[in-house]
Amino acid sequence: MKLLVYRKKSHTDQYLNFSSHHPLNHKLAVIRTLLERRYSVVTEEDDRKKEEHVAKAISKCGYSPWTIDRVKQDILEKSLKDEAKKVKNTRGNHRGMVVVPYVKGLSEAFARLF
């Protein structure tokens, strides 16, 4: 069965603008979602190449090429870590989670501390 990403005719390729007041990880998550969808939904390689227009769409939203490269690298590293976890098959230590409201400049400092 052949699967593609469906977009309505009214779709405008507008995504979260890079200059908006959101944390960097939210902006990178936009790219990650679009890239992962390309591999998880689209079934044929020729159709995956058509999905590369996403890079042009997000560049129109102010994203630099380094953002795409960083997300691709993160995806690759995550898949390698997942494979290593499957091989080890052990349970790691959970460090916990802290949730704080986003304040530009301050939230990034908290993230580094925790």
Sorted by sequence, the CB contacts under 8 Å of residue 67 that are 6+ apart come out as 18, 27, 28, 31, 58
Say which residue, 1 or 32, is predicted with more confidence.
32
The reported pLDDT for the residue numbered 91 is: 56
Q: Which residue has the tokens 């230590």?
A: 93
Q: What is the DSSP letter of 98?
A: -
The reported pLDDT for the residue numbered 87 is: 67
Say which residue, 51 or 100, is predicted with more confidence.
51
The reported pLDDT for the residue numbered 94 is: 63
Average pLDDT, the chain: 86
The pLDDT confidence band at residue 24, using thresholds 50, 70 and 90, is very high
* pLDDT tens digit sequence for 53-107: 888 999 999 999 999 999 999 989 988 888 777 766 555 566 777 677 888 888 8
How many angstroms from the chain centroid is the CA of residue 31? 4
Q: Which two tokens stand for residue 114?
A: 């925790």
- Within 10 Å of residue 5's Cβ, how many Cβ atoms? 14
Per-domain boundaries in the chain: 24-90+97-113
* pLDDT tens digit sequence for 96-108: 776 778 888 888 8
Nearest-5° angle of CA 16, CA 68, CA 87?
A: 115
- Within 10 Å of residue 35's Cβ, how many Cβ atoms? 20
Q: Which two tokens stand for residue 109?
A: 């400092």
Sorted by sequence, the CB contacts under 8 Å of residue 34 that are 6+ apart come out as 15, 54, 58
